[in-house]
């Protein structure tokens, strides 16, 4: 029987793919790639781009198409079988990738191609070769064989430990629940959250309500529960996930954190970097650790006065000093009192399906693309959907899946990922396809999920990433879409897109009242807009705290006397944070972005890219946010280019100058306009 995972002639056959298909498919494909690579190098003594780089790109593209459904399914399905299949195959992929990156013969062949490329070679070809040569060096291709072997061992260990880190966070989250029998304990919590808690209790044959530790529930309780003790219980559960302060020692990530930091530092040293932060910057816009830290410190210094005023105003409003589990609640109350705006009142205007419809209309207006749901595409869950993307001439340019509702076993947070990367090689074209995943409130019995405005912003953010993936015009996969884009610039399209969620004309299309069908009233939007900067200074310091903690943790690591992650966090909080955090807080132990994702020594990228995004959006504000000439310039210079050219050169081509941080500070109300 053929393995459906190996069929890349169409979209993944999610109705047929099983966990036991994974290992055989990966083993077969890696063996085939190795044989093909050996033949390629043996029979091609003087390679050029077409005879060397194109076959390598095709091999990697196929491997990516086979592996992407595996990575995706182990993240969105609460299945131990899928997790085990992923864990079995991951070491093989890691070893294979390292083998290729450390192949001296392949590196020399790429160097020969680079030297032979004509001066008028297209940017994407030159970038693909330059990036590959950089990555050869970062993978230790120049090292002695003993050090190469150690580098490979480190990569294997890191892949396994980082996967285990994320699985422990998920397991700890899924295992926690709180059974409530007294309705008085739940006063203030939105009805949608309460209804879901009743359903969860019913599934366990329990009376009352069962609160789970997913983000929609946590967020609703922290913002709306009048019961301060309940807020602290949820805060404690959330801030101790995967730690020694959690419910089970088997989910404690303390050892994983230490191992990850030590291995990353050793890896960086092997290839000539003083620390992992320097190693990380080799693929980013920022030029040095000093530049990153100066950037973070400048933003902190320019935001601190505003944050201090905000905290003082909140505590005066609350009539008491505030703990970490009080800030979101009192900020919500403060917004209601000062601006007469309530997340719960706003939620009535944002059914998820209406928001999506309005978002698609915005994409059509800005970029001339039409998005239509396709019902006969196989998906992995009843809530998943597939959409086809067509240009103004009706030609299909790509597609994407959505899976936007929270459920047990699904990884928390929101993200996009590649399913298929764009490719046009040897006369054959493959269109880009992606996954867009969120964790919004599940559909109720009426088939509704009502979003907060924060949720709307999150959806716009992820859709910005998706447009970056889908609208690329680059034909070489390694530098198409989000590939090859510096990590501290990859958030530019997403954070840029968030700004449209703060525009009345856009929200008018994205809103429809649950009962009346009316769009969001202008006066309600005006209050929402006025509330935008409430708490912005505190939010800025919070993100800078995370970015500084991550970067310093990797930049200052000393193997002989490593500072613990908790001590580093305490040091950073002493410098940046205005809030006192309880001793049991274990933020690092569930910080998957840096310990399991791609943001190690790179979490600062959110703020770095937010500066770019605010500055870019100001170009639209100057001429009108639906200005087609500006939108087309942004599409052409930013969204379409992938990693084919220097991102600062591309930004200057769009904006006419380098970015400044002033637009972000004005946008957040931290600096006067």
Structure tokens at 261: 């930091």
β-pairing, 370-373 vs 209-212, is unpaired
The pLDDT, as a whole number, for residue 78 is 85
The pLDDT, as a whole number, for residue 1 is 55
Structure tokens at 448: 């509704």
Query: Which parts of the chain register pLDDT below 70?
Result: 1, 672-673
The rounded distance, in Å, linking the Cα atoms of 340 and 347 is 14
The domain ranges of the chain are 4-170, 176-250
**Among 310, 462, 509, 610, the one annotated catalytic:** 462
Answer whether 237's CB lies under 8 Å from 222's CB. no
Residue 652: name the closest of 666, 633, 673 by CA. 633
The pLDDT, as a whole number, for residue 52 is 96
Summarize pLDDT for 587-621 with one digit per residue, the tens.
Answer: 999 999 999 999 999 999 999 999 999 999 999 99
The dihedral built from the CA positions of residue 592, 593, 595 and 596, taken in this order, carries a sign that is positive
- 256 Rama class: left (phi>0) / alpha (psi -120 to 50) / beta: alpha
Question: CB neighbours (10 Å) of residue 324?
Answer: 18
Question: CB neighbours (10 Å) of residue 516?
Answer: 9
Answer whether 489's CB lies under 8 Å from 333's CB. no
Residue 483: name the closest of 462, 470, 469, 495 by CA. 469
The pLDDT, as a whole number, for residue 672 is 66
Distance of CA 309 to the CA centre of its chain: 31
Name the H helices within 283-404: 289-318, 327-339, 343-347, 352-367
Answer whether 335's CB lies under 8 Å from 314's CB. no
The pLDDT, as a whole number, for residue 347 is 94
DSSP bridge pairs for 436: 402, 416
Structure tokens at 298: 């400048």
The rounded distance, in Å, linking the Cα atoms of 225 and 248 is 27
The pLDDT, as a whole number, for residue 673 is 56
* Architecture, CATH, for domain 4-170: Orthogonal Bundle (1.10)
Q: In the annotation, is 462 catalytic?
A: yes
Q: Give me the residue label for tokens 């980082």.
A: 162
The rounded distance, in Å, linking the Cα atoms of 336 and 491 is 31
Phi/psi at 319 (5° precision):
80, 20
Summarize pLDDT for 36-66 with one digit per residue, the tens.
Answer: 999 999 998 899 999 999 999 999 999 999 9
The rounded distance, in Å, linking the Cα atoms of 513 and 346 is 9
Structure tokens at 222: 């922290």
The rounded distance, in Å, linking the Cα atoms of 423 and 26 is 21
């Amino acid at each position: 029987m053929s393995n459906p995972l190996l069929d890349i002639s169409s979209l993944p056959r999610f109705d047929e793919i099983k966990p036991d298909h994974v290992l055989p498919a990966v083993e077969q494909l890696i063996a085939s790639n190795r044989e093909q690579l050996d033949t390629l190098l043996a029979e091609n003594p003087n390679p050029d781009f077409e005879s060397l780089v194109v076959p390598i790109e095709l091999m990697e593209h196929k491997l990516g198409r086979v592996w992407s459904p595996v990575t995706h399914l182990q993240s969105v399905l609460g299945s131990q079988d899928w997790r085990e299949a992923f864990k079995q195959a991951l070491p093989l992929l890691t070893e294979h990738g390292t083998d290729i990156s450390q192949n001296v013969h392949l590196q020399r062949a790429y160097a020969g191609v680079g030297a032979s490329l004509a001066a008028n070679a297209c940017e994407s070809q030159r970038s693909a070769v330059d990036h590959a040569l950089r990555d050869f060096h970062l993978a230790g291709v120049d090292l002695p064989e003993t050090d190469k072997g150690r580098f490979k061992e480190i990569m294997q260990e890191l892949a396994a430990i980082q996967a285990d880190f994320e699985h422990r966070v998920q397991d700890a989250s899924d295992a926690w629940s709180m059974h409530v029998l007294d309705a008085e304990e739940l006063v203030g919590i939105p009805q949608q959250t309460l209804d879901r808690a009743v359903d969860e209790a019913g599934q366990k044959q329990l009376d009352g309500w069962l609160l789970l530790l997913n983000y929609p529930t946590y967020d609703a309780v922290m913002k709306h529960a009048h019961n301060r003790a309940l807020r602290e219980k949820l805060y404690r559960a959330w801030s101790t996930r995967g730690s020694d302060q959690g419910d089970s020692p088997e989910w404690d990530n303390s050892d994983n954190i230490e191992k990850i930091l030590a291995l990353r530092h050793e890896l960086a040293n092997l290839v000539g970097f003083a620390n992992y932060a320097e190693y990380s910057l080799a693929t980013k816009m920022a030029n040095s650790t000093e530049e990153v830290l100066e950037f973070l410190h400048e933003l902190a210094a320019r935001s601190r006065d505003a944050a201090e005023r905000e905290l003082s105003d909140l505590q005066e409003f609350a009539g008491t000093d505030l703990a970490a589990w009080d800030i979101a609640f009192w900020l919500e109350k403060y917004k209601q009192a000062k601006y007469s705006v309530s997340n719960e009142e706003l939620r009535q205007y944002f059914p998820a399906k209406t928001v999506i419809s309005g978002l698609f209309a915005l994409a059509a207006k800005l970029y001339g693309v039409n998005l239509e749901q396709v019902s006969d595409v196989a998906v992995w869950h009843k809530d998943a959907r597939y959409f086809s993307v067509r240009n103004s001439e009706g030609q299909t340019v790509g597609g994407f899946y959505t899976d936007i509702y929270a459920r047990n076993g699904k990884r928390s947070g929101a993200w996009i990922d590649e399913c298929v990367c764009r490719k046009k090689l040897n006369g054959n074209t493959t269109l880009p396809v992606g996954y867009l995943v969120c964790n919004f409130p599940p559909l109720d019995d009426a088939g509704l999920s009502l979003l907060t405005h924060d949720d709307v912003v999150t959806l716009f953010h992820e859709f910005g990433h998706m447009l970056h993936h889908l609208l690329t015009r680059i034909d070489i996969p390694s530098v198409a879409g989000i590939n090859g884009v510096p990590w501290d610039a990859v958030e530019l399209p997403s954070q840029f897109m968030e700004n449209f969620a703060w525009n009345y004309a856009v929200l008018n299309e994205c809103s429809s009242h649950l009962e009346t069908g009316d769009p969001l009233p202008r006066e309600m939007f005006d209050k929402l807009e006025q509330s935008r900067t409430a708490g912005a200074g505190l939010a800025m310091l919070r993100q800078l705290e995370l970015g500084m903690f991550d970067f310093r943790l990797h930049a200052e690591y000393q193997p002989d006397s490593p500072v613990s992650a908790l001590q580093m966090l305490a040091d950073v909080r002493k410098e940046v944070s205005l809030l006192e955090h309880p001793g049991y807080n274990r933020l690092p132990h569930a910080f998957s972005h840096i310990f399991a994702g791609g943001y190690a020594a790179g979490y600062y990228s959110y703020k770095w890219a937010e500066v770019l995004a605010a500055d870019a959006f100001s170009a639209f504000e100057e001429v009108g946010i639906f200005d087609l000439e500006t939108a087309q310039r942004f599409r052409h210079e930013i969204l379409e280019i992938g990693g084919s050219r220097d991102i600062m050169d591309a930004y200057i081509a769009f904006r006419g100058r380098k970015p400044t941080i002033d637009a972000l500070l004005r946008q957040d109300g931290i600096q006067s306009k």
